Amino acid sequence: MSFFISNAWAADAPAANPIMGFLPLVLIFVVFYFLLIRPQQKRAKEHKAMVEALKKGDWVVTTGGMLGRVTDLGENFVRLEVADKVEVKVQRPAITALMPKDAVKEL
């Protein structure tokens, strides 16, 4: 009975281009770059420019949500007045936002 069933032989695999194997990885990296890495670098650059441009009298918000007016600037630290005769010293990178002058009522 086995003479009615023919043997199934495997066909030779087509020669694969090694570059085509890396194409999905390259495509994923390009997508990650434009969706994740590039926007983060842009935000970091804008934050650094904002922190470097601080001057006395600016109203800022810290990472902890504290609102204050800049009274003194150091190389690494900024002194903020958060209430009458109450000053705190924070690191420059802890400042997250610069508030418009007309948006803040005086202390």
Q: Closest by alpha carbon to 89, among 101, 71, 105?
A: 71
Give per-residue pLDDT as tens, 45-87. 999 999 999 999 999 999 999 999 999 999 999 999 999 999 9
Sign of the torsion formed by the C-alpha atoms of 13, 18, 20 and 26: positive
Per-residue burial over 57-94, b if 16 or more Cβ lie within 10 Å, else e, is ebbbbbeeeeebbbeeeeeeebbbeeeeeeeeebeeeb
The C-alpha atoms of residue 52 and residue 54 are separated, in whole angstroms, by 6
Structural domain harbouring 95: 55-107
Give a yes or no: residue 85 inside a domain: yes
In a domain, 46, yes or no: yes
**CATH at residue 80:** 2.30.30
- The answer to whether position 6 is within a domain reads no
Domain boundary among 10, 31, 53: 53
Residues 77, 89, single domain; the answer is yes
Question: Cβ(95)–Cβ(62) under 8 Å?
Answer: yes
Using one digit for the tens of pLDDT, what is the confidence trace for 78-93? 999 999 999 999 999 9
Which pTM was predicted?
A: 0.70
Write down the pLDDT at residue 12: 74
